[in-house]
Amino acid sequence: MRQASVERKTKETSIKVTVNLDGSGQYAVTTGIGFLDHMLEQLSRHSLMDLKVEATGDIHIDFHHTTEDVAICIGEAVAKALGDRKGISRYGSASIPMDETLTEVAIDLSNRPYLIWKVAFTKPKLGEMDTELFKEWFQAFAQAAGATLHVWNKYGENNHHIVESCYKGLARALRQAAEIDTRKADAVPSTKGVLGGSL
């Protein structure tokens, strides 16, 4: 089992995260932000990554620090669980329809972090959560996980559907990319023999 735990404590947040990349999509998530909890549950369920998140933060100010730091911890835990990334499929992609919405997500677990975010919202908030924080979450996750991540909402009207399709797309793409390729389970998927650094 590829498992890892990460703890992060600052003056703004206190977070514990555990992931199991070879799980069955079991989750226990408490961040104090209901909508974020819902998205992380989707991430776990559709990636089949077991995910435990215990987070407290200064949400009396706003949700920014908790949202970003949770993403950092999940990304770091994923990177730690991947280890030297030997044997992984490396690339994954998903096209996720949700009613009127369609979002495409592609990921490369290259150990070179980069985010392309082509997602626009028509409302500043979903519930109590600022919609601008979703880009911050995906940026922090990509950076900490060492992932090149492209998220493109091709069309959609309902903001809830748009953001949920982004998380489900990440889940499905991550699941594909993190899977062990049984034909090359003993090798890092790069002609360099290592992932990261220059192209």
Residue 19 pLDDT:
98
Residue 199: pLDDT above 60? no
In angstroms, the CA 35 to CA 155 distance is 22
CATH number at residue 161: 3.30.230.40
- Establish if 141 belongs to a structural domain: yes
Task: Kindly tell me if the per-residue pLDDT of 198 is higher than 60.
Answer: no
Number of domains, the chain: 1
Per DSSP (E only), the strands in the chain are 3-9, 13-20, 27-30, 50-57, 91-98, 101-108, 114-118, 125-126, 129-130, 148-155
Residue 98 domain-assigned (yes or no): yes
Model pLDDT for residues 23-76, shown as the tens digit of each residue: 999 999 999 999 999 999 999 999 999 999 999 999 999 999 999 999 999 999
Backbone angles phi and psi of 125, in degrees to 5? -140, 150
Is residue 84 situated within a structural domain? Answer: yes
Residue 119 phi/psi, 5-degree rounding, is: -135, 130
The parent domain of residue 25 ranges over: 3-178
Rounded CA separation 58/181 (Å): 42
| Average pLDDT score over residue span 129-144 | 98
Is residue 192 a part of any domain in this protein? no
pLDDT-based confidence at residue 182 (cuts at 50, 70, 90) = confident
- pLDDT value, residue 190: 57
pLDDT tens digits, residue range 95-122? Answer: 999 999 999 999 999 999 999 999 999 9
Q: Does the residue 117 lie in any domain?
A: yes
Confidence class for position 192, pLDDT limits 50, 70, 90: low
Instruction: Establish if 193 belongs to a structural domain.
Output: no
Is the per-residue pLDDT at 186 higher than 90?
A: no
**Quick check: is 31 in a domain?**
yes
Confirm whether 153 is domain-assigned.
Answer: yes
Of 8, 133, 134, nearest to 61 by C-alpha is: 133
Check residue 161 and give its pLDDT.
Answer: 98
> Residue 45: which H helix or E strand, with range?
helix 34-47
What confidence category does residue 188 fall into, taking pLDDT thresholds of 50, 70 and 90? low
